Amino acid sequence: MISGSVAVTLDTLCEIELPTGEAVPVVRRRFGGGEGPRVVFVAGLGGDTPEGTRLLHVVGKFLASCAEELRGTVELYPCLNPLAAHLGVRAWPGLDVDLSRRFPGREDSHAPDRVAAAFVAAVEGAAQVVELRGAHPAFRLAPQARVRAERPLARERAELLNVRCVRLESGVLPGSLESCVPDLVVLQGGAGNRLTEGVSLELGDGLLNLLSHLGVLPEARLPFHWAAIQRPIVAGDDAFEDVRTDRGGLFLPAVGGWGEVQAGDLLGEVIEPISGEVREELRAPRDGRVLALREEPVVYPGNLAARLVCA
Amino acid sequence: MSVVFRLESPYRGEYQLHRLTFGAGDPVVSVVAGIHGNEVNGVYALNLVAGVLRMQPPRGTVHLLPCVNVFGAEAAQKRWPFDDRDLNEAFPGDPEGSPVQRVAAAVVEATAGAVGIDVQTGSATVHEVPHARMPEAGLAHDLGRAAGLPVTWARPAERLADGLVGAWHRRGQPALALRGGRGGALDLEEARVLARALVRVLGEVGVLTRTEPAAPGVVTTEVHDHRTTVGGFFVPELRPGDRVRAGQLLGTVRAPLGGTGLEEIVSGAAGVVLAVRVYPVVHARELVVRVATQP
């Protein structure tokens, strides 16, 4: 119990047993209860995505203030991969396993497989699951959602999440969470392994709006008017342009995140790191907006420098 | 030796994918090692094979790519070090994709031919006996058996669908993996065993005429994984390649702080030890011993 209200609980999804005999719990916070829908928000599948964990703290703090008014259950998993988060790395330490590729997991295998299996079992029957995936450490991302293109329910709900863009993805990676939870909505935004001013507030409002839409959170309790929620660009894979380097060097961006660009506009330069000579200019192939921008400057030929949404 | 692919590098000299080619004409056999930068047994084994091919020119063509992930090898890392990608997960690759996808595509293109062989080791925490992994039927199966390694493990096609071997299979090129040792360590004897196995495979294809006979090994489709139920400090009682009987003690899990016995790991079947955990600190349900069953 983490507050005086019976409508808020803290429990353990499973424990990760350490060689020393200690155990690290994978925790779940529950808010509300009763007959209404059950909604799951999960963060920290990679240990280098603290933004999602902070976002769930923001949402949890708000839900704790109104838990007895909830008409349903909200489950928050602030960090599914605590050992990696302990080190600030993506993969499960020691095993070098990416938890995001281990679903549906196995109960008779090592710890990441068991965490994956326990999570898949725990979210069965949930009305909606949302994963806060954060960003790759090399990039800064505008707040965005990704869903499977053939899942209209997921698309409808992603549009409620106060994001700039919803990507309808045609492929599903084997072992990913979305391969087991077809209506999963993945939220991304901010910079990898860092906290980004404003992203938690923007996506946090989106999560509360979703809870209101699902009838779990009374609309009157929303800390903003629903009309303030952004209407995202919704587009399939064809609308996204990956701009990659053809030369190695240092990438110097010439645009800002979510900036509007016209075809031919300069997105950035690759310079020779010692002399500063410009090796390559990267230009926008189409009109669009900058959805992702590389912040880690060292690049090899083929590295992603920017991703545009061109719908 | 030729450079079949180059990738500009910001500070260091460019990445170069080197290929050593011996002989000419058909059949074309390609042997690859060092996709993981720390798997050095394969690098040494291919260099031993290069010595054989210099002495005994092949009837056909043999391509050797001894160290694909040079940057990883320099950094003693399994992955491509700059962006921490597993090169083996980048196959079949993309010539216009990310750096590892470009390298992967270049490897696939440079190894087209009648047969592909990927030489690998276990992870840095697991020691494996030299063995072949190949499909349950077909030319690659026959070549795996001809390698004459202590263990020959025939696997369903879906278990060979990943990595370079999977990419070769998907384009219809018979392919197999030879594995032995562990990441981050050179075992001279195991590298020699792998090199002799490669020479036998080249003999089976008809590229080489002089090969050494092999001692009989275990040919199996069944492998038993033994996992801990608790975390602790695993102390093995045997080595890779040892023969075991059902019920034999394979190792014990002890408390890392104080040494109290926590669990005995007992063999579930008779066979040959395929792999042993050598880094002793283990979590619950981690694989510690793998036994290939004696048919």
pLDDT tens for B189-215 read 999 999 999 999 999 999 998 888 888
Q: Answer whether B5's CB lies under 8 Å from B32's CB.
A: no
Q: Residue A301: inside a domain, yes or no? A: yes
Coil, strand, or helix at residue B189?
helix
Using the Cβ of B260 and the Cβ atoms of chain A, whether some distance falls under 8 Å is answered with no
Distance CA A20, CA A38 (A): 36
Predicted local confidence at residue B216, as pLDDT: 80
Are B131 and B164 in a shared domain?
Answer: yes
Which tokens in the block code for residue A55?
Answer: 């976002």
Distance CA B80, CA B83 (A): 7
To test the contact with chain A by mutation, choose from B283, B288, B290 the residue with the greatest count of A C-beta atoms within 10 A, namely B283
Domain count, chain A: 2
Domain residue limits at B141: 2-205
Distance CA B16, CA B20 (A): 13
What percent of chain B clears pLDDT 90, i.e. is strictly above it? 87
Are A221 and A278 in a shared domain?
Answer: no
pLDDT confidence bin for A78, thresholds 50/70/90: very high
Question: Which residue, chain included where needed, has tokens 């694909």?
Answer: B68
Q: Residue A12: inside a domain, yes or no? A: yes
Q: Residue A3: inside a domain, yes or no? A: no
Q: Residue B212: inside a domain, yes or no? A: no
Q: Residue B215: inside a domain, yes or no? A: no
Are B120 and B26 in a shared domain?
Answer: yes
Predicted local confidence at residue A196, as pLDDT: 80
What CATH number is associated with residue B13?
3.40.630.10
Distance CA A73, CA A77 (A): 13
Question: Which residue, chain included where needed, has tokens 């390694």?
Answer: B149
pLDDT digits (tens, 9 = 90+) for A201-223: 899 999 999 999 999 999 999 99
Q: Residue B176: inside a domain, yes or no? A: yes
Instruction: Answer yes or no: is pLDDT of A26 > 60.
Output: yes
Which tokens in the block code for residue A77?
Answer: 């998993």
Are A78 and A169 in a shared domain?
Answer: yes
Are B181 and B240 in a shared domain?
Answer: no
Q: Residue B75: inside a domain, yes or no? A: yes
Are A154 and A200 in a shared domain?
Answer: yes
Q: What is the ipTM of this complex?
A: 0.70
Are B192 and B286 in a shared domain?
Answer: no
Q: Which of A110, A138, A302 sits opposite B286 (nearest CB)?
A: A110
Q: Residue B210: inside a domain, yes or no? A: no
Domain end residue (candidates: A231, A248, A279): A231
The answer to whether A20 contacts B256, with C-beta atoms less than 8 Å apart, is: yes
Are B29 and B152 in a shared domain?
Answer: yes
Q: Which of A19, A109, A248 sits opposite B10 (nearest CB)?
A: A248
Q: Residue B214: inside a domain, yes or no? A: no
Predicted local confidence at residue A136, as pLDDT: 85
Are A305 and A173 in a shared domain?
Answer: no
The answer to whether A110 contacts B78, with C-beta atoms less than 8 Å apart, is: no
The answer to whether A19 contacts B256, with C-beta atoms less than 8 Å apart, is: yes
Q: Answer whether A36's CB lies under 8 Å from A72's CB.
A: yes
Q: Residue B113: inside a domain, yes or no? A: yes
pLDDT digits (tens, 9 = 90+) for B115-126: 999 999 999 999
The answer to whether A20 contacts B284, with C-beta atoms less than 8 Å apart, is: no
Window 63-122 of B, Cβ < 8 Å to A: 78, 82-84, 96-99, 101-102
Helix (H) / strand (E) containing A302: none
CA distances from A257 to A129, A235, B64 (A): 28, 19, 46
Are A198 and A64 in a shared domain?
Answer: yes
pLDDT digits (tens, 9 = 90+) for B231-256: 999 999 999 999 999 999 999 999 99
Q: How far is CA B17 from the centre of its chain?
A: 19
Find, among A264, A148, A304, the residue nearest to B83 by Cα.
Answer: A304
Using the Cβ of B158 and the Cβ atoms of chain A, whether some distance falls under 8 Å is answered with no
Are A210 and A268 in a shared domain?
Answer: no
Q: Residue A19: inside a domain, yes or no? A: yes
Is cis: bond before A104, omega within 30 of 0?
Answer: yes
What CATH number is associated with residue A277?
2.40.50.100
Q: How far is CA A78 from the centre of its chain?
A: 12
Q: Residue A134: inside a domain, yes or no? A: yes
Domain residue limits at A32: 8-231
What percent of chain B clears pLDDT 70, i.e. is strictly above it? 100
Domain count, chain B: 2
Q: Which of A20, A110, A298 sits opposite B285 (nearest CB)?
A: A110
Instruction: Give me the torsion for CA of B81, B84, B88, B91, rounded to 10°.
Output: -110
Is cis: bond before B27, omega within 30 of 0?
Answer: yes
Predicted local confidence at residue A173, as pLDDT: 87
Coil, strand, or helix at residue A256?
coil
Coil, strand, or helix at residue A140?
strand
Q: How far is CA A216 from the centre of its chain?
A: 22
- Cα Dmax for chain B: 63
Are A181 and A140 in a shared domain?
Answer: yes
Of A169-178, B8-17, B37-46, the range with the lowest mean pLDDT is B8-17
Rg (CA), chain A: 20
